[in-house]
Structure formats: C-alpha cells, structure tokens
Chain A
Amino acid sequence: MATAAGEVRAAPRVEARGIGLRAGLGAAAFLVVALVVGLAVGPVGIGIGAIVRSALSYLPLLHVHQPLGAIDRAVLWQVRAPRVALAALVGGMLAVAGASYQGVFRNPLCDPYLLGVAGGAGLGATLAIIYGSVAAEGRWLVPVAAFAGAIAAVVATYALGRSAGAGRTTGALVLAGVTMATFTAAVQTFVQQQHTQQLQNVYAWLLGGFSSSTWTDVAICAPYVAGSSLVLVLHRRVLDVLSLGDDEATSLGVDVRRARLAIVVAATLGTAAAVSVSGLIAFVGIIVPHTIRLLVSTSYRAVIPLSLVAGAGFLVLTDVAARSVLSPEELPIGVVTAFLGAPFFAIVLRTSRGVR
C-alpha cells in the first residue's frame, strides 16, 4: 500500500532556514574584525594587543593592567571609539531599514536614501538646527524633527509612487523617491542660503560623516536604533509572509496595512535617528541586504538580522577607508558609499528587471 510505505518513510525536514550557524558566525566575525580595525587605524599608532588589553582593563575583576598613557587612551576611547560605535549603529540601521523597505514595498531597489526618507529626515534636522534651539539640550530634539521630515517624505513618496504605477513596476517608487529627495534638497539649500553663517556646518553634515562624533551622538542615536531594529527583527517572519503579496498575506490572517505601517514607521524612525547624527549616506541599504541575499538566503529571517550585523561592520570599514584613502585629509563617507553603491545598484537594477 502506498500509504503504508509513506508512513515508513522518514518525515521530510520541514524547517525555515533562518540565519544558519555559518552565516551567523561569519557576520559576527566580520563585525568584530571591522570594530578592531576601526579602533586600530589612525595617525596615532596603537597596537591591537594594547587595544584589547586597554578594553579589558575597564572590566572589573579581571585585573588587567592599563597599557596606554593618558593621551593614547583619550585618542582611543574619546576620539576613535565613539566614531566607530556611531558608524556601527548607523550602518546597521541603514542596512536593516533598506532590507525592510524592500520587503514591505516588495521592491528590491528601495533604500532609505533613494526613497527620499533620508532627505526628508535631513530637512527636518536642518530646520531644527537652524530655527530650533541650538543649545545642548535642543540636540535631543533633532531626531524627532528628522523623524517628522522622514515620515512626511516616505508618505509622499509612497503616494506619488502608487499613483504613478508602483504596483506594476519597480521603477516608479524609486523615481518618486528621487523626486522627493530632489525636492527636499532644494528646500534644504534654500534654508541654508538664508543662514549662510551655518553653511559650513550644514554642508559638512550633508555629505555625511563621523569625523566629529562624540559619545553624546551615540547616546542620542542608540535608543532609536535599538528600538527600531528590535521591531524590525521581530517582524522578519511577517516580512516573508508579505512577500506573498497583499491578498495572500491577508488570506493568511495578517493585517497587511497594520503590519506595513509598523514596519515603515520603525524603519523610518531608525533612519531619521541615524541621519540626524551622520548626515546623508546612500546605498548602504542596497549593498548590504543584497549581498546577504546573494551569499546566504533571500528569506527575511536571514536578511533582517544579518543586515543589522553586517551593515554595522560595513559602515565601520567604509569609515576607515574614508579617513585613510586621502590621509590626512578625510573623504566624506557618503562619497565612499556612493562610489561602491552606484555600480552595485546598477547590477541589482539589471537583474531585477523581471520583478514586478
């Protein structure tokens, strides 16, 4: 009997692949190497052994002797460390936000920058810096203003994209995003020109970078990034369900509108916080998730958590490149990511032509 034979046969392995041990360890190792390189590279030579011992000396109960003098210690922990930490936070956030936008809009070309989200956040932040309180306590409001700008931008982009046929082609949404980004850039320039005394600051900020990062920036950014990425990581399975399309996700019992709202708000809030401390950095949300899709899996159960970890490592290394290539001059980090990202985007564009 066929049924009897069927029962004897071993049950099929029914599991979602998820992150996988190798990919998880690989991403973690990549991040650790990036962090160490980020701390070690700079005009003042500090050995890796000394960095590790210096870090351990801050831990209680280990009794490791602090190997560094006061100046080296300050360079390491007050200049380089906050910069590395901030690059990691921003990189992880932009990568995981990019992956989430790609899932929620079912469009492989989405990126916080290309959707106009970063531009909207930038405009909001600029308005807050120029018209708002510039006092120290006012800085905590910058991410909120950035978030307001970012949400307005993503809503406008989505509405414009939908009316232009984003349901049928991948290009429409991105074109709407570019329209939005151009518009916010124009308003931003107008505001800047009215306040030329701040032009230098705003311009440096626009290109993106971590050259003046402090632990305060890390403290401003970290809670938003932590909250947003937590929400997005929790939604990783929902993103896989959404990849079946609205009808099928609905017929599987998912409230598609509410799920989409939660994911977009989380990704946008995180992006806004990242942008408000780092400026406009494009393409991280394209490069990192698509590399993971290529190397590991297209399931969001893998793409979301791995983007977070690998994105952090990626931006730390990109920042190392930005400060070393023309040393002692610094290249704006947005220039480096665009240099790497534009060809990458072209490849994704070519291979995703069939995607609706």
Chain B
Amino acid sequence: MIETRDLWVRFGPVAAVRGLSLRVEAGGWTALIGPNGAGKTSALRALAGLVRYEGEIAVDGRDARALGRRALARLVAYVPQKPETPPDLTVAEYVLLGRTPHIPYLGGESRGDREAAARALRRLDLEDFAERRLGSLSGGELQRTVLARALAQEAPVLLLDEPTTSLDLGRQQLVLELVDALRAGGLAVVTTLHDLTLAGQYADRLVLLDRGAAAAEGPAGEVLSAPNVATHYGARVRVLEEDGSVVVVPVRDRGR
C-alpha cells in the first residue's frame, strides 16, 4: 500500500533519514523504533509528504510526488505527536475537518462528508461526544477524537507519530487496540513508538532506526534482541518472552 525506496531526508548538511526502504501492505502495521534523534519522525513526515525527500515513495502503486497534495491526502492520513486541537471546536466540527481533502477548496461539506464523519465517530465510540468541546475532553478521549479525524479522511494509509504519548498505560492499550482494529479493517498503519514492548505487541513488523538508517527490521522476536537494544539505545535490558510476545525490561546496573 505504501512503499519507500532508498528514502533520504536532509536538513541542510544533516541527513535525518538515510536510505530507508520499507513496504507496508493493507492490513499491515509497521512500527518505526529507535533512540531519540534516530529519524523516526522525519521518516514519518516524509511519508506524509510534509518534508522534502530524495528517493521514492509510492502510495497505492503511484509516485507520491506526482500525486499532488489533495490526492495524497485522500490516500494518506497523518496524526502528529502533538496535534493542534482548538479547544472551542466541537468533536463533530473537528472530525469534519478531516474531510477537507474531499471538499472543494472554497466549498462546504456535503451530506456524504457529514455521513463519513458520523461513521468515524461511531467507529471510535464517540457518538455521545459529538457536541462536546475539545477543551473539555480527557487525554484519552482527545486521542480518540484525533484518530476519528484521521479516520474520517478515509485514506487507506494511516500514519501516527507516537500515538500513546502522555496517555496512562490503560489508555495506551485502549488506543493501540483501536488502531489494531482499524488495521484489521484493512488500513496500512505506520507508527513511531518509543515503548518497545508495546511496539512488539501490536506491530507485525518493526524497523529499528539508528542515525537515520535501518539497523534491523522484521518481527519483534528478531529485532528486539538484548544486543540490538544495547547497541542502538545504549541501554541494558533483558528480553523476556511472555504469551508469545516480547517484553523488554530495563535492568539497572548496580555497578558491582
């Protein structure tokens, strides 16, 4: 569904992403992991068409550069790490803004757009919140609302930058379960995730970035080895198996 070949993102002399190639099919979930400054967010922003890049990005088999902004927005929905949520907009108004790529530049929403937004609200169980102001929502409700806006875009590719930031553990699981349900419904999902255990539990494929390049990629069992984490994060961890998934436990060096 979305594919990159030899993707480079440069900021002046600094290359934030170096030669990344990845491929995510419909119904797949790839998590970009890696230490701070590894280029996770830059790679995601390139996929969303927000930064200049070298190399190729193809969405649905078509060159992203040739698609144009609106056409790309109908194929790729993007949620930044800290989305801007004007506190006085209602949930319904905010989710309707997700329909923008389907609405003529100076036009207004059609009935079809309102129905699509209503579907997104229902999908994320937000019907009772439709007329609430964004400013009155809790962190978890707000994150669901932001997901609903991305869903209303009805794009087959969903990009999420750290979707669990500033949520408690229960809300993190709730949001990731929601994303997993959307993935199972046929979306291609790419997220950055800093929690390695959660990344391993939810994504079917991990790409470990270090200084912009893919240092390891594959299923969690392969990527999340103690030596890999030690090398690229500079962290001491023990990797456990639990219920068929990988748990990464930090180990404190007591300095013997």
Contacts and interface: CB of A to CB of B under 8 A. Distances in A.
Query: A and B bound?
Result: yes
Interface of A: 6, 9, 11-17, 234-235, 237-238, 240-241, 243-245, 247-248, 250-255, 293, 297-299
A244 B83 contact: yes
Contacts, number: 99
A13 B96 CA distance: 11
B224 to A, nearest CB: 30
Nearest to A243: B86
Contacts of B45: 247
28 contacts: A11-B127, A12-B128, A14-B118, A14-B121, A235-B106, A237-B103, A238-B105, A240-B93, A243-B84, A243-B86, A244-B97, A245-B84, A247-B45, A248-B78, A248-B80, A250-B49, A251-B48, A251-B49, A251-B73, A251-B76, A253-B71, A253-B72, A253-B100, A254-B69, A254-B100, A255-B69, A297-B88, A298-B86
A305 B157 CA distance: 36
A237 B50 contact: no
Contacts of A237: 103, 106-108
B114 A14 contact: yes
B247 interface: no
Nearest to B74: A253
A15 B95 CA distance: 10
Interface size class of chain B, counting residues whose CB lies under 8 Å from the partner chain: 35 or more
Interface in B91-118: 92-93, 95-98, 100-101, 103, 105-109, 114-115, 117-118
B106 A252 contact: no
B89 interface: yes
Nearest to B107: A237
Contacts of B108: 237
B127 to A, nearest CB: 4
B65 interface: no
A9 B118 CA distance: 12
8 closest residue pairs by CB, A with B: A253-B73, A253-B101, A253-B70, A298-B88, A12-B130, A252-B100, A251-B78, A245-B84
B143 interface: no
A250 B50 contact: yes
B4 to A, nearest CB: 17
A6 B122 contact: yes
Contacts of B103: 237
A234 B108 CA distance: 10
Given A13-B92, A299-B88, A299-B93, 9 more contacts: A12-B121, A14-B92, A17-B93, A240-B89, A250-B49, A250-B50, A251-B73, A251-B76, A253-B70
A17 B90 contact: yes
B131 interface: yes
Contact of B86 (A15, A235, A244): A244
Contact of B69 (A13, A15, A247, A253): A253
B95 to A, nearest CB: 7
A6 B95 CA distance: 19
B30 interface: no
Contact of B50 (A17, A241, A247, A298): A247
Nearest to B69: A253
Nearest to B125: A6
B69 A250 contact: yes
